[in-house]
Every structure is written in C-alpha cells, then in structure tokens.
Amino acid sequence: MALTKETIIDKIEVVGTYKAVQVRTAVVVKEDDVELSRTHNRHVISAGSDYSSEDSEVQAVCQAVHTSAIVSAYTTYLEAQE
C-alpha cells in the first residue's frame, strides 16, 4: 500500500484585456495508482509580474502574451485607477 501525493499544473488560461494568466494546479492523492482525492488551487499572473519561479510551461505562456505593449497598457490602467 503506497500513498503518493502529486501536484500538477492541469490548466493554463489567458483571460481579459490585459492577458492575465490563470494557473490551476491539482493536488492528487493516490493509493497504489488509484486516485483517492483531487483538490484544485488557482493563482493569477498579471502583466508585468515576476513569473521567474513558475513552471517553464507557465513562463512560456507569460512570455508569449505579456508583451511590452500589454505590460505598458496594464501599467497605465493601474495608474489611472489610483
């Protein structure tokens, strides 16, 4: 009887005008390769945020969508909100 716990990225979405990257992770608990439970967590990476500690796949998505134009537009939007 071997219990294992694994955290996987199971969904990456790009949403909104300023290309927020939503990352959903699943924590999967298995016993002898039979899934016992699965829970989900989500976090958002906004344009201009530091994503250097993210998984390489998430970094690639952020690099593709967080262009300098998007980062500049999002920064301008945030400044206008203050």
* Rounded Cα distance, 9 and 23, in Å: 7
pLDDT for position 1: 79
Q: How many domains does the chain have?
A: 1
- How many Å apart are CA 67 and CA 82, to the nearest integer? 23
pLDDT digits (tens, 9 = 90+) for 3-44: 999 999 999 999 999 999 999 999 999 999 999 999 999 999
Burial class (CB in 10 A: 0-12, 13-18, 19+), 22: middle
Flag whether pLDDT at 73 surpasses 90: yes
Contact criterion met (CB below 8 Å) for 20 and 78: no
pTM of the model: 0.87
Which range marks the domain in which residue 46 is found?
3-81
Give the pairing of strands 20-31 and 34-45: antiparallel
